[in-house]
Amino acid sequence: MSDPRVELSIDGHIARITLRRPEKLNAIDEDMIDALLQACRIVERSDASVAILSGEGGKSFCAGGDIEAWSSLDAETFSRRWLRDGHGTFDALARLTVPLIAVLNGHALGGGLELAACADLRIAEAHVKIGQPEPGLGIIPGWSGTQRASRRFGTQLVRRMALFGEIYTAQEALALGLVDQVVATGEGAAAAETAAARVQKRAPRATELTKMLINAAEGEERERVVEMLAGAVAAASEELTEGLSAYKQKRPARFGN
């Protein structure tokens, strides 16, 4: 990995992505954005069938964007690099072909919640708090905190967090649908391993296709999903074999119609 604060390990068919910046509550800066994107590319090219995302330490899963990093940027750089690159990385996480499990072993606030929203399953430890404090700092929830978060959690819940500053405990988040499971403090990693084991009992290709279809139904990467599925059908057809043969042999293709 290009940044030691983002650790990727692949053991068997489980990929583990860990933010290792506990002294900054696992806040993300520009180099970590790039490293997370690199991790996604490696996972996609590996034999992993499921991925687990967590943050080091018990205080914070991720405190979001590092305020010291983005507050020093001019408006144009903030928009073109910080927001654009962050969106690209978070999109890659949300669109991983394998199921992604987020272990909220600490608070998930602001960009940390936006990071958790990329996951297919969120497991929160009992001491965790969740919310979107960005407007209180004079900024918006900028890494799809209004868009993907609204699709996955519902617009009214996002309104309550982003507009009215509501912060939820783990149990409240469970009742509201922000997280899928709450476990005792310190047991998040074990719960994620259990969930990952369930994924591994399922057919990898069918699981991948099912996740893509669910994402498309939700409005996540709909255009890419449609073209990928159509392309896969075309690639498996005899027409492609004939078309390539004709091209190589410099003759008209005979498609049988």
Name, in order, each residue with C-beta under 8 angstroms of 149's C-beta and a sequence gap of 6 or more.
Answer: 113, 114, 117, 132, 141, 158
> In one letter, which amino acid is 75?
A
Task: Give the tens place of pLDDT for each residue, 33-89.
Answer: 999 999 999 999 999 999 999 999 989 999 988 877 777 778 787 777 778 888 899
Q: What is the pLDDT of residue 257?
A: 63
Residue 152: which H helix or E strand, with range? helix 148-153
Domain 6-200 class? Answer: alpha beta
Q: Please report the pLDDT score of residue 138 as a whole number.
A: 85
Tokens of 80: 């073109």
| pLDDT single digits (tens) 7-16 | 999 998 999 9
Residue 170 neighbours by CB under 8 Å, 6+ apart = 104, 124, 125, 126, 127, 128, 129, 130, 179, 182
Q: Start-end ranges of CATH 3.90.226.10 in the chain?
A: 6-200
The pLDDT value recorded for residue 160 is 97
End-to-end CA distance of the chain: 51
Residues of the chain with pLDDT under 50: none
Task: In whole angstroms, give the CA distance from residue 142 to residue 146.
Answer: 8
